[in-house]
Amino acid sequence: ELSSPTSQRGEGEEANKEGIVSQKASTTSSTTGNPAYDFGDETMHKGRKNDNADFKPISQSPHFISATEPASGTESESTKTTKDVAQLIADANLGNEAAQVAAGDMYRDGDGVDQDYQTAMEWYLKAAAQGNANAQRNIGRLYRKGWGVPQDHAQAAGWYLKAAEQGHPAAQYDIGRVYEKGEGVPQDYSRARAWYLKAAAQDHPVAQNNIGCIYFAGNGVPQEYSRAMNWYLKAAAQGHPAAQNNIGCMYYARHGIPKDYSSAMDWFLKAAEQGHPAAQNNIGFMYYAGNGYPPDYCRAMEWFLKAAEQGYPDAQNNIGKVHGEGKGVPQDYSRAMGWHLKAAEQGHANAQYSIGCMYAAGHGVFRDYSQAAGWYLKAAEQGRADAQHSIGELFEKGQGVPQDIVTAKEWYQKAAKQGLSKERLGALERKGGNIGYHGNAYSVSASAGHTSQVRDSYTHVDDRPYCFRGGN
């Protein structure tokens, strides 16, 4: 299925699952949908309709980067001349802490010198010894990323705390994220929110967005959509794309406000114009599903491609679905498989499930139940209910795997906990495992009374929303 809008969380320097997505970090596999919140980590597809009542936020991270940190671990374009480097090192050697931090940044980024994280650490340590909060925070980031030192989340947390206690807003955000994720410290939503609030009071947009996600999900606080929206609006007013995307998701899914596709599109566009892939994917989904507009598959594909070109797995999966369905483009299972594989290689459960369906049905490939079983298993292990049902069917019939009724029942039981396979499981238990099998692994027996997502999962766009958090 196509991935619908998702919501998202913001993070320091990285962002990260299904359909229309917002940003914290997610997955499924057919063409139906809802918006995604910025950063989605998980959401189960349960045959949701376009106005998915189970729309939930997921944590992910937008590209928020402080002035003193690199966007990545790669070298940046050099801005310093040999003379600049010499003067900076001379000042740093005289004990100038600002110069020491700048020297650390220079070596970290490879700006005018060869990139050298260990030398960067040495300069940061000199400045940190003088109590410099920027240096303390940067040391924390080096430990968290494992740049020039063994990765050590506990050390990272300790250094973030030193800077945060001096009132450094980005460090306050960092330590909030550490407590929210439980990286190097016990997970503690109360402390996470407390630190986010300190950073938010200094207008840190990612912290403001993440407080919104905390209230949206009800993590450590009562779930309050109105307070979530207020915090998203604070961050969005500063141009934060994850928050803009999340507001779009709120309007899309009527969380605390009337459903308004026009307002949802307006907010998604604000984020998409900043290159936010989740928002771009969400716009694509709205055009695909005809939410507030007549369906326009060509425009949907244009927006999916914008997000897919950034490596966004939900969009890659959706493009695969569009090619598989042949809506707006000629039906092409080979291209569909190629796009599904791009998403599946990033762990996208919907894409993995779709690939399994293609092997089971022989769409664009030779029918191969062994391959189908392998892909179903990948998705099932991530909790996708219809994949759990499908792998159960393969074990029940012995297609692609040795026949094993006990294992089949175990997978049916997992799916049944999510509302699937109950009839199949009941029939299996009533007949001692000796029940008839109708259809193939790509569809569930009609006699079992189960309208499987497996059957139409290859014909719909993912409809899961996600909330994106900050906290890379």
Contact at 8 Å (CB) between 395 and 377?
no
Residue written as token pair 């598959």 = 297
pLDDT in tens, 293-342: 899 999 999 999 999 999 999 999 999 999 999 998 999 999 999 999 99
Q: Domain limits of the chain?
A: 348-357+366-459
Residue 283 DSSP class: H
- What mean pLDDT comes out for the span 217-222? 96
Residue (of 247, 245, 190) closest to 219 by Cα position: 190
- pLDDT band per the 50, 70, 90 thresholds, residue 11: low
Looking at residue 47, its pLDDT comes to 26
Question: Quick one: what percent of the chain has pLDDT higher than 70?
Answer: 75
pLDDT in tens, 420-444: 877 777 777 776 644 433 333 323 2
Strands 36-37 and 6-7: parallel
Lowest mean pLDDT of 123-127, 159-163, 189-193, 422-426, name the range: 422-426
Contact at 8 Å (CB) between 1 and 28?
yes
Residue written as token pair 């967005």 = 209
| Cα dihedral value 421, 448, 435, 440, nearest 10 | -80
Looking at residue 421, its pLDDT comes to 75
> Is residue 277 pLDDT above 70, yes or no?
yes
Looking at residue 3, its pLDDT comes to 64
Looking at residue 16, its pLDDT comes to 33
pLDDT in tens, 172-212: 999 999 999 999 999 999 999 999 999 999 999 999 999 99
- What mean pLDDT comes out for the span 45-66? 28
Q: How far apart are CA 264 and CA 269, in angstroms?
A: 9
Looking at residue 431, its pLDDT comes to 63
Looking at residue 33, its pLDDT comes to 37
Residue written as token pair 């089971």 = 360
- What mean pLDDT comes out for the span 397-419? 94
Burial label for 50, CB within 10 Å (0-12, 13-18, 19+), is: middle
* Between residues 447 and 334, the one the model is more confident about: 334
Residue (of 378, 437, 376, 467) closest to 7 by Cα position: 467
C-alpha 461 chain-centroid distance: 17
Residue 257 DSSP class: S
Q: How far apart are CA 439 and CA 435, in angstroms?
A: 13
Assign domain 348-357+366-459 to a CATH class: mainly alpha
pLDDT in tens, 86-105: 999 999 999 999 999 999 99
Six-digit token string for 335: 């291209």
> Is residue 449 pLDDT above 80, yes or no?
no
Burial label for 68, CB within 10 Å (0-12, 13-18, 19+), is: middle
Residue written as token pair 């596709």 = 261
> Is residue 457 pLDDT above 60, yes or no?
no
For residue 471, report the phi and psi dihedrals to the nearest 5 degrees: 140, 55
Six-digit token string for 449: 């009374």
- pLDDT band per the 50, 70, 90 thresholds, residue 2: low
Looking at residue 428, its pLDDT comes to 72
Handedness of CA 376, 461, 214, 268 (dihedral sign): positive
Average pLDDT, the chain: 81
* Between residues 12 and 457, the one the model is more confident about: 12
Lowest mean pLDDT of 59-63, 183-187, 375-379, name the range: 59-63
Six-digit token string for 314: 């939900």
Residue written as token pair 């958090």 = 469
